[in-house]
Amino acid sequence: MTRSVAKSLQPPDDGGFRAGVLRFFILRILTIVAASSVGCDRGTDAGGVELRVANWGGPANLSEFLELDRGIQRAFEAAHADRGVRVVIEQIPGEGQYTSKLMMMHLAGNMPDVAHLDASSAAVFVDNGVMMDLSARIASDPDVEEGMFFPNVVDIARRGEKVYALPLDFTPMVIVYNRRLFDRAGVAYPQEGWTREEFLTTCAALKQRPPSEREVWYPIDFFNWMPGWYPFLLAGGGDVLTSDGRGAVGALNAPASVASLRFIVDMILRDGYAPHPRVRTAVGKDLFRAELSAMTLTGHWMMLEYRRDGLDVGVVSVPHTGERKTVMYACSLAIPVQARNPDLAWAFVKHMTSTEVQKLRNSTGLAISANRAAAEALATDDVEGAFLREVRFARPPWGARVERYPVIEEFGWEMMEDVLHGGVSVETAASETAKLIEHELQ
């Protein structure tokens, strides 16, 4: 990739879902530290042992995080110099193509030793026998136990008693607000656990007292990207799929879902609290980063950019209508069943997820460590503390359980386009989209 890390991590400005949730954690380059010896592994023709690690993204990204990972990679190789271990990073480029290309490698019998697993597409690999069950290794290894990690993050790759990946890092989706703009408008900061009504009251106050005379100003930013607005649906008591994940009729078109969709649409079309996608396209920039909006719904990956921009931000929960909920996106490490060097791969996985390594690699602030001790050690300010308090309210994305969910998110994008651009009613759009999803899942 030739774009900057920050640009790669942003949702598409055109509102399309072509990249899908695979844009999340795009900079998951190799991090390896090992302290123990490994068993019998297969080596290269030139001698030594080659560890292949697959990841999404491209090699052109340069950042503090990337340099840190490269240093840890060299440390891993040095720790195993007596065996000639060499780490080979296999970047799989192409927006949204990681899943399909990795599956093609599986079908061709050419899988790497370790694969980064995105929560949004975990079901594709976990439910098709592509990844190893790690539960026996976890149970027998004194250096690893499930209690080290946030349980709902581990559950992303859990099927009954089997665990198919260990989590690296993650983020719950939250509302981020600009303290400076709130102060200028004389509006109180939002409070943790706030309701949808309190959110609307805040938006009304911000609209009545804009912090500047700029022509373009909105209380909250919006882009038609389903991972970016789905938390509003969830926190409003709605959902895209039924509880078993097998259907959408009775879920997406249920009263709570329709009410939440109408809430989103009314913010844009009726109240002017959020920009129409046409406005955002015309402005040509991230409204929150440009201080043209006071709030945005996003994840931890944007904290690096906000700090670089000099924004003074706070973090608060997604406004709810009765029960506090949000969704989380995560990156985990899995070992393919075709791995040539499973013992070396396990050494990579367990040390990469260890407390000390996690403290080091997540000190950059890109994401929240899935290692609880590391995450708590790094939560040294109110922003990080707010993120951690949201973890218990976060659930995995449907893509962790439903193989076809990336296609369903495409339907969600099209549904919102029909309403915002085509004048289709929320009720009709939800009903018709639910039927399309139902057919897709058959």
Assess whether 322 and 338 both reside in one domain: no
Q: What angle do CA 418, 280, 16 make, to 5 degrees?
A: 50
pLDDT (tens digit per residue) in 118-152: 999 999 999 999 999 999 999 999 999 999 999 99
Looking at residue 8, its pLDDT comes to 33
Nearest to 432 by CA among 248, 227, 262: 248
Question: Does any domain span residue 3?
Answer: no
pLDDT at 302 exceeding the cut of 80: yes
Assess whether 27 and 116 both reside in one domain: yes
CA distance 370 to 374: 8
Within a 10 A sphere around the Cβ of 184, how many other Cβ atoms?
Answer: 15
pLDDT (tens digit per residue) in 97-119: 899 999 999 999 999 999 999 99
Question: Does any domain span residue 1?
Answer: no
Looking at residue 12, its pLDDT comes to 46
Q: Which domain holds residue 365?
A: 12-172+329-400
pLDDT (tens digit per residue) in 17-30: 333 333 333 233 23
Does 91 or 249 have the greater pLDDT score?
Answer: 249
Assess whether 341 and 382 both reside in one domain: yes
Looking at residue 61, its pLDDT comes to 46
Q: What is the pTM of this model?
A: 0.86
Assess whether 208 and 263 both reside in one domain: yes
Assess whether 192 and 304 both reside in one domain: yes
Nearest to 335 by CA among 322, 347, 318: 347
Q: What is the CATH number of the domain that holds 256?
A: 3.40.190.10
In percent, the amount of the chain with pLDDT more than 70 equals 86
Question: Does any domain span residue 385?
Answer: yes
Assess whether 350 and 412 both reside in one domain: no
Looking at residue 212, its pLDDT comes to 66
Assess whether 351 and 425 both reside in one domain: no
CA 185 to each of CA 202, 223, 330: distance values in angstroms, whole numbers, following the listed order: 11, 24, 35
Q: Structure tokens of 404? A: 């076809």
Q: Structure tokens of 70? A: 């490269």
The residues, ordered by sequence, that sit 6+ positions from 184 with a Cβ below 8 Å of its Cβ are 211, 212
- The per-type count for the chain, helices as H runs and strands as E runs, is 18, 13
Question: Does any domain span residue 360?
Answer: yes
Q: What is the rounded average pLDDT of the residues 277-286?
A: 92
Question: Does any domain span residue 320?
Answer: yes
Within a 10 A sphere around the Cβ of 103, how many other Cβ atoms?
Answer: 16
- Output the DSSP codes for 273-339: SS--HHHHHHHTS-TTTTTSEEEEEE-GGGHHHHHHHT--EEEEPPPBSSS--EEEEEEEEE-BTT-
Q: Structure tokens of 151? A: 């349980």
Within a 10 A sphere around the Cβ of 222, how many other Cβ atoms?
Answer: 26
Assess whether 287 and 436 both reside in one domain: yes
Give the confidence band of 66 by pLDDT, cuts at 50, 70, 90: confident
Question: Does any domain span residue 4?
Answer: no
Q: What is the rounded average pLDDT of the residues 242-249?
A: 97
Assess whether 409 and 393 both reside in one domain: no
Question: Does any domain span residue 361?
Answer: yes
pLDDT (tens digit per residue) in 50-65: 999 998 865 444 467 7
Q: What is the rounded average pLDDT of the residues 285-310?
A: 95
Amino acid identity for residue 134 in this structure: L
pLDDT (tens digit per residue) in 355-373: 998 999 888 888 999 999 9
Assess whether 22 and 136 both reside in one domain: yes
Q: Which of the listed residues 370, 385, 400 is the one where a domain comes to its end?
A: 400
The number of C-alpha atoms within 13 Å of 436 and in the hemisphere containing its C-beta is 16
Average pLDDT along the chain:
87
CA distance 249 to 188: 40
DSSP structure class, residue 243: T
Assess whether 420 and 282 both reside in one domain: yes
Question: Does any domain span residue 6?
Answer: no
Q: What is the dihedral of CA 170, 234, 274, 311, to 10 degrees?
A: -30
| Residues in the chain, overall count | 442
Alpha-carbon radius of gyration of the chain: 22
Helix (H, G, I), strand (E, B) or coil at 260: helix
Segment among 53-57, 251-255, 283-287, 314-318 with least mean pLDDT: 53-57
DSSP structure class, residue 98: H
Nearest to 311 by CA among 328, 276, 287: 287
Assess whether 146 and 249 both reside in one domain: no
Structural domains of the chain, count:
2
Q: Structure tokens of 237? A: 């008591």
The kind and range of the H/E element at 437 are: helix 426-441
CA 159 to each of CA 134, 156, 164: distance values in angstroms, whole numbers, following the listed order: 11, 9, 8
